Each structure stands twice: as C-alpha cells, then as structure tokens.
Amino acid sequence: MTKALKMNKNTQQCILDFLKFLLEKDKVKGVFTLKRINKNKDVAYSLITNPDEISTAVPFYPLMPVNAGKLLSRFTLKGSTKKPVVAVVKPCELRGFIELIKREQGSLENLFIISSTCSGVYPLKMAIDGVIEKNLPEYWDMVKKGEISPDLRSACRTCEEFIPYTADITVDLLGKNDVDKQCIMFLNTEKAEELAKDMNGEILDKELDNKKLDKIRDKRQNEKKKFFDEIEKKLNGMDGLIEIFGRCIGCHGCSKVCPICYCKLCIFESPDSEYRPSNYESDLRIKGGLKVPPGTLYYQLGRLTHIGISCVACGQCEDACPVDIPLSIIFKKVGESIQKIFDYVPGKNIEEEIPLVTFKQEEFVEIEK
Amino acid sequence: MDKGIFDAILIPMKVPAGDSYVYVLIKDKSLIKDVLPFPPIMSVQGAKAVSSITRLGKGNIKIAAVMRPCEIRATIELAKLEQTNLENITLVSMDCPGVIPFSDFIKDPEKAMELFDNAIKQEDDKIMRPVCQICDKSSMIAGDLHIGTLGAKKDTFFIISNSKKGNDVLDKLDITSKDSIDSWKAKVKEKTEKKQIKRKKTHKDLKTQMGGLDNFLDTFSKCINCHNCMSVCPICYCRLCYFDSDKVKYSPKEYLQRAENKGSIRFLPDTSLFQIGRMIHMSLSCVSCGSCEDACPMSIPVAQIFSMIADETQGLFDYIAGRSLYEPIPLKTYKEDELHEVEDAHD
C-alpha cells in the first residue's frame, strides 16, 4: 500500500492549493508547471516563484507546447538546482527527462516531480484558434470516463504508459469519475510524504485502481493495433519509405522538439552531411537525377536508429512537422521494436542503463551466427 | 542541354507520392519530361538547394537553376554571404504567380493543383501564401535569364537576359531577335503597383495589431521554440545559431533569479528575444519568400511580420535583398556619411 493524501475538492483546485502551500511554506523555491501567460489565456510552461501567481497555473491542461523533459533538462543542464523546485509534468515528459539524465543532460537532485495518470493531450494545432479552450469540458468528461477522444494526439490515443514510473507524487486522474469532487495524491516517496506534511487533507493507505486502468490500457492497445497495422502497410520497403517521407522538407523540426535528440550539432547538419561537388558529380553519373538537398530518407532512418531505443512516444515530433508526416506512430512502432529486443522501457528506471551503452558478453549470439 | 550549354538542370519535380515537389539536379535528359518549373508549392527554398551543392565549391559542371524570383534573390544573398558559389550556375527565373501554403496543398494535392491552375488563369492570388499576395517583386529579374509570360501574346513568352552569362546562353541558342519587351514591362509595372499598395496596407495593419511590447509578446506567445522558421530560412545559414548555443543556457540559480524578479517566467525564457534576434540578424537579406510561415507549426504569421521589418530595414539603406549580386550588404559596408539622423538623436 502507498500513502495517499485525500482532499475533498476539485482535483485541479487541490493541486493549485498544494503548489501554493509548497511555495508559501518555503518547502520549494519554484514551481515548474503549465500556466496561462497572457490575457488571451495562452498556455506555456513557466517557472513560478510568487505564490500569488499559482492561480494562473493549469497543471493538467491538455497541451504539450514543449516536452517538459527537454525543459527540465535545460533547467538543470549546468548543474542541479541547489534550491528545491517542484515540477508538474506528464508521464512521457518525465520518461523523456529520465532518458536525458541517463545521457548526463540533467539532474533530478532537489527536483520534486508531480505527475498523474494521463489522459493525453490535444495536437498543438488545436491550440491555434482556441479550440482546446472550447473542448475543455468535453476533455474532462473524457478523463472521468477513461475514454479516448479521436481528437487527441495519435501518440496519446495509443499510449499504454499513462501511469508515471518515477514521480514523487502521482495524481489520480484517468478514469476517476469524482475527479471534480475529490483529489487523491499518491505519495510515492519519502520526499513526497515530507512535502505533503501539514497540508490540509486526510492521509490514507491506498493503491491505484488497477482493474480500471487495465481496461483503459486495453482500449489503448486496440487503438494502437489499428494505427500500427495501417502504418505497417505503408512503411513497406524502400518504396514505402519514399512515399511516406518524400514530402519531408528537411527542417529537422522533429529533432529540435524531440526530448531525446539532445546533440548540439546533429550529424545530419554537420560538415559530414554536406555535398561536395565531387559527390554529386559522381552520383549524377550513376543516377541521372538527384534530389537536392540530399539525404531526406537517410536523416529519418538515422534518427530512428539514434533515438529509437529511448523514444518515449510523446508525439511532439509529429506536432512540429509542418508537412504532417505521421512521425509519432512510425517512431513509436520502430522504437518499441528496438526496445523489445532489449526488454527496455525508456524512462522507467533511472538505474537501468541504456542498452546501447551496456556491454554484455552473452547476447545476440543468433546474429553473430 | 542538347547544345551543350549546360550539363545539368536544377528544377522542381513531383515526388513519387504526388504530395510534394522537390528540387532535382538532372543530368539525364529523359527525366526532363517529368519536371514542373513552377510547382504550386515551395517545399524547400531554391536558394538552399543551390547552396547545398555549391557551398563547398563550384564543381566542374555547368548548371542551369530554374527558380522563382525570391529564390534567386535569396541565392544572390547567400552568394554575398559566401554560402554559394555561382560561377558555374546560371539562374533562370519566371514571372511568379505565387505558391499555395504547404498545409493547404497536402490536404488534397490534386484539387490544390486545379485551384492553382485556375488562380493563374484568373490572376487571382487569394489561395496563395499571404506573403505571395503582397509580393511586389514577383517579376524582379535578379538572375541571368528571365522568362516573361506577362504581356506576351498567347502561347508565347519573352526570354530576357540580365547578364553576360544570360547573353552567352542566348547567343549559343542563336536567339538574336530583339523584340520589344515594353508590353511585359507595362504589365509588370501595373501588377507591381497594385501589390505595393496591398503590401503597404497589410504592413500598416500588422503594425497596429502588434505594435508595443505586450502585443509583440502576444504575437509570439504560441511559439514552441522549434526554430523551424530559422531552419527553413534561406538566409539563416549559421551552423550553430546563437539562440541554440551555450550563451543562452543558464544555471538553475539564474533561472530562479529571473523568475523571482518577476514572480514567474515563461520557460524557456527569451522566446521573443529569438524572434527579435533573428529579425536583426537576417532582415536586411530577407526576401519575403514565406518559407518560415509555411513551416511554423503554430501558424504564427512570421513571414508577414518579417516582410514588414525587412521593408523597413532595407529601406533605411536603400537596399533590396538579392536585387543585384554587385550591391554589397549594408552591414558589411562602411560609409563615412550616413545615418546622421541616428547620430544626431544621441547628441
């Protein structure tokens, strides 16, 4: 059994109260969360230090403007925070952050993580004309029922990893039908229990309703099968790859927003990938015609190889793609197939090493043969 | 190619799936039947295509690059910035009707193609990129050869040379006729004047809408820092952008300090600073092609904003980006006598 803090109020309000409490009681010096940033009610990740500003925070807003794992990495890139900070993030964002920490791109020290069972987010496009804002009642209805809206990101509709692995606090949201009357926060770590000390509410011994969550997972699995079957047909062989990626404009936006792609200089933007006259002249002798700039498919295959093992399937790449390539499903499918070989779930366990940097004398003998 | 003037042609071609057009360098003449010199979209800005094959040197083959006027202007800017070598490249442009935004095109490429053809016939630009609708340089001749269709009799066109390279090509093709291009000039003038009025109005409205710091910040409030605008910009050629460099990475202490000063900060901070920085860095060379706006996942009207800033900064130096290879970039030119009004303001 896990300790849980129960409060009899709307869950979203309870979290705001809790965040404010943490700042006011000096338990943390900063709160990292989604927040409304202007009179148009636009939502962006923010670092809040003034308790009065918590009222404009929207921790569970169904939008991922940037994968927060990338942002927490930026926050702690130059060293861990000496002052305690609490961050409210989605499970896949937390997993992205953990993968980055394994790559020495951030630190969890003095960071407290609040996450929740996650219903998913809407595509970024829907934030443009305020569509998400209008959809909020429908979204929360869906959260309560544990249903999948066809409007959500395809990555979210097909996500089975909606329970955070390493959060200090897990907020019960998905499929909780009284989410607007009651709030349950699971205190997973000692740190969490300490933070919640003196907060108004009742401490219980409780577990997540796994039966209910398993049913939701089944639904998502069915959805995933549909998406995977469809993409498998299209991704067939070289011709399939060219069909799918042929319209890529080489902006590399997918890599810029990817929580795993942390290289300061991507090899595909380096001098190694530049075309020398001797290269294209010899290519022209063989082929008669060449796409320029070259390497569209090579870039995508390269990125699949480089990040597949750690892809947390957040769907940010697809949202940033100006030409609507179904990247999230492609990367999820390829990522899972690589991860399965090594029995690895990216971001699940900070102690578990990345398979590609781990040497085992006895493995893949079947390939050697 | 038959006459041996060029060894290869750089020109757009449809991709196998039919949902885009990309630049292809063609040596095999049989492939030429599949090209489309003026496709309905601009997937990659042509200047980037030219730069990708000539940045490291001129090569041994002679290439004709067939591109839109704004792509040629960007190519010329890149040549001034030493990011392309034009020695073996002949730039060929045409009167440009504009392009459809990529996101509109991919919804239904066939339908979009139909709309595009109709729009050209009816000289109606409302389906084009917003910056194409206010483009007053769609027939500007900056390259070596220009194909003029405006003011030409049905099924004919003008070939206009703009350089020695262009003259040489015409000579080798035995084109000596010296027909008057007055009808083309008249039509171009008429179109340009109309567009200039529209451009001024659009910019004026935009200025009202986003003037002042608050409105400016609101305009970019949805920016997700993907930097797609910069990646696709033909002028932004830096391999490592200042705004991706260590200079803009701070310690947790500094981030918290900044938050404490204001109560909260957007994270990442400096989202709008990136936009201002980019304006300062490249607006003197901005050709208003609209690639940035097409690539913005949040539909921020970047290209319209940048075209407004570019007109102002370029106007200050009486400079038009890419107009001429021989016009030096203002920021690289020292004149003892200029901008006194700025000096005087600080007296």
Considering only alpha carbons, which residue of chain A is nearest residue B109?
A247
Kindly state whether residues A209 and A314 are assigned to the same domain: no
What tokens were used for B137?
């340089």
Poorest-confidence range of A49-53, A113-117, A353-357, B257-261? Answer: A353-357
In this complex, the residue of A80, A253, A293 whose CB is nearest that of residue B228 is A253
In this complex, the residue of A71, A83, A250 whose CB is nearest that of residue B44 is A250
- The domain in which residue B254 lies consists of 202-345
Kindly state whether residues A6 and A53 are assigned to the same domain: yes
Residue pair B264/A48 in contact by the 8 Å Cβ criterion: yes
Average pLDDT, consecutive stretches of 10 residues, N- to C-terminus, chain B (347 residues): 95 95 95 93 97 93 97 98 96 97 96 96 94 98 96 92 95 85 96 97 96 93 96 95 92 98 95 95 97 97 97 95 95 84 72
CB distance A80–B252 less than 8 Å? yes
CB distance B256–A49 less than 8 Å? yes
- The domain in which residue A252 lies consists of 228-368
Which amino acid, one-letter code, is at A352? E
Asked whether residue B2 is assigned to any structural domain, the reply reads: no
CB pairs under 8 A between A and B: 219
Kindly state whether residues A117 and A91 are assigned to the same domain: yes
Task: Chain B: give the shortest CA distance to residue A222, in Å.
Answer: 27
CB distance A48–B44 less than 8 Å? no
Kindly state whether residues A345 and A203 are assigned to the same domain: no
pLDDT value at A333 more than 90: yes
Kindly state whether residues A197 and A263 are assigned to the same domain: no
What was the pLDDT predicted at A368?
A: 75
What was the pLDDT predicted at B346?
A: 65
CB distance B43–A247 less than 8 Å? yes
Summarised one tens digit per residue, pLDDT across range A206-255 is 999 999 999 999 999 999 999 999 999 998 889 999 999 999 999 999 99
Asked whether residue B146 is assigned to any structural domain, the reply reads: yes
Q: How crowded is the C-beta side of A55, counted as CA atoms within 13 Å?
A: 1
Chain B stretch 167-196, residues whose beta carbon is closer than 8 A to a beta carbon of chain A: none
Task: Chain B: give the shortest CA distance to residue A109, in Å.
Answer: 11
What was the pLDDT predicted at B311?
A: 97
Of all residues in chain A, the percent with pLDDT exceeding 90 is 92
Kindly state whether residues B150 and B270 are assigned to the same domain: no
Asked whether residue B1 is assigned to any structural domain, the reply reads: no
Kindly state whether residues A217 and A83 are assigned to the same domain: yes
CB distance A277–B263 less than 8 Å? no
Kindly state whether residues A201 and A244 are assigned to the same domain: no
pLDDT value at A284 more than 80: yes
In this complex, the residue of A252, A277, A324 whose CB is nearest that of residue B59 is A277
Q: Given CB atoms, is B25 within the 8 Å cutoff of chain A?
A: yes
Q: Given CB atoms, is B102 within the 8 Å cutoff of chain A?
A: yes
**End of a domain among B159, B175, B201?**
B201
What was the pLDDT predicted at B331?
A: 87
Kindly state whether residues B217 and B184 are assigned to the same domain: no
pLDDT value at A273 more than 80: yes
What tokens were used for A323?
């030409």
Question: What mean pLDDT, rounded, does chain A reach?
Answer: 95
- Displacement of CA A68 from its chain's centroid (Å): 7
Best residue of B26, B28, B224 to probe chain A, by most A CBs closer than 10 Å:
B224
Kindly state whether residues B208 and B196 are assigned to the same domain: no
CB distance A256–B231 less than 8 Å? yes
Poorest-confidence range of A90-94, A359-363, B62-66, B185-189? Answer: A359-363
Partner residues linked to A30 by β-bridges: A85
Torsion, CA A177, CA A180, CA A182, CA A185, rounded to 10: 90
What was the pLDDT predicted at A362?
A: 83
Summarised one tens digit per residue, pLDDT across range A165-212 is 999 999 999 999 999 999 999 999 999 999 999 999 999 999 999 999
Sheet strands side by side (includes B145-148): A289-291, B21-26, B8-14, B63-66, B89-94, B145-148, B158-161
Q: Given CB atoms, is B8 within the 8 Å cutoff of chain A?
A: yes
pLDDT value at A369 more than 80: no
Q: Given CB atoms, is B49 within the 8 Å cutoff of chain A?
A: yes
Kindly state whether residues A355 and A238 are assigned to the same domain: yes
**End of a domain among B201, B231, B252?**
B201
Kindly state whether residues B299 and B326 are assigned to the same domain: yes
Predicted-complex ipTM score: 0.95
Is it true that the peptide bond before A34 is cis, omega within 30 degrees of 0? no
Q: Given CB atoms, is B216 within the 8 Å cutoff of chain A?
A: no
Q: Which residues of chain B make contact with A128, given a CB cutoff of 8 A? A: 222, 298-299
What was the pLDDT predicted at B6?
A: 97
Measure Cα distances from B304 to A61, B210, B314 in Å. Answer: 30, 12, 15
Of all residues in chain A, the percent with pLDDT exceeding 70 is 100
Residue pair A332/A155 in contact by the 8 Å Cβ criterion: yes
Kindly state whether residues B37 and B168 are assigned to the same domain: yes
**End of a domain among B170, B201, B232?**
B201
Kindly state whether residues B98 and B70 are assigned to the same domain: yes
In this complex, the residue of B17, B25, B268 whose CB is nearest that of residue A247 is B17
In this complex, the residue of A239, A246, A289 whose CB is nearest that of residue B20 is A246
Asked whether residue B91 is assigned to any structural domain, the reply reads: yes
What was the pLDDT predicted at B347?
A: 60
Kindly state whether residues A187 and A277 are assigned to the same domain: no
Best residue of A112, A234, A321, A323 to probe chain B, by most B CBs closer than 10 Å:
A323
Asked whether residue B3 is assigned to any structural domain, the reply reads: no
**In total, how many domains does chain B have?**
2
Kindly state whether residues B51 and B105 are assigned to the same domain: yes
Strands B8-14 and B63-66: parallel
What was the pLDDT predicted at B325?
A: 95
Kindly state whether residues A152 and A20 are assigned to the same domain: yes
CB distance A81–B8 less than 8 Å? no
Burial class (CB in 10 A: 0-12, 13-18, 19+), B115: middle
What was the pLDDT predicted at A358?
A: 86
Q: Which residues of chain A make contact with B210, given a CB cutoff of 8 A? A: none
Summarised one tens digit per residue, pLDDT across range A20-76 is 999 999 999 999 999 999 999 999 999 999 999 999 999 999 999 999 999 999 999
Kindly state whether residues B35 and B137 are assigned to the same domain: yes
Q: What is the distance between the alpha carbons of residues B146 and B12, in angstroms, rounded to a whole number? A: 17
Poorest-confidence range of A276-280, A340-344, B61-65, B131-135? Answer: A276-280
Q: Given CB atoms, is B298 within the 8 Å cutoff of chain A?
A: yes
In this complex, the residue of B48, B251, B264 whose CB is nearest that of residue A35 is B264
Strands B89-94 and B63-66: parallel
Kindly state whether residues A269 and A286 are assigned to the same domain: yes
Task: Chain B: give the shortest CA distance to residue A369, in Å.
Answer: 39
Kindly state whether residues A34 and A150 are assigned to the same domain: yes
Sheet strands side by side (includes A2-7): A202-206, A2-7, A183-187, A169-171, A111-116, A85-88, A30-36, A43-48, B264-266
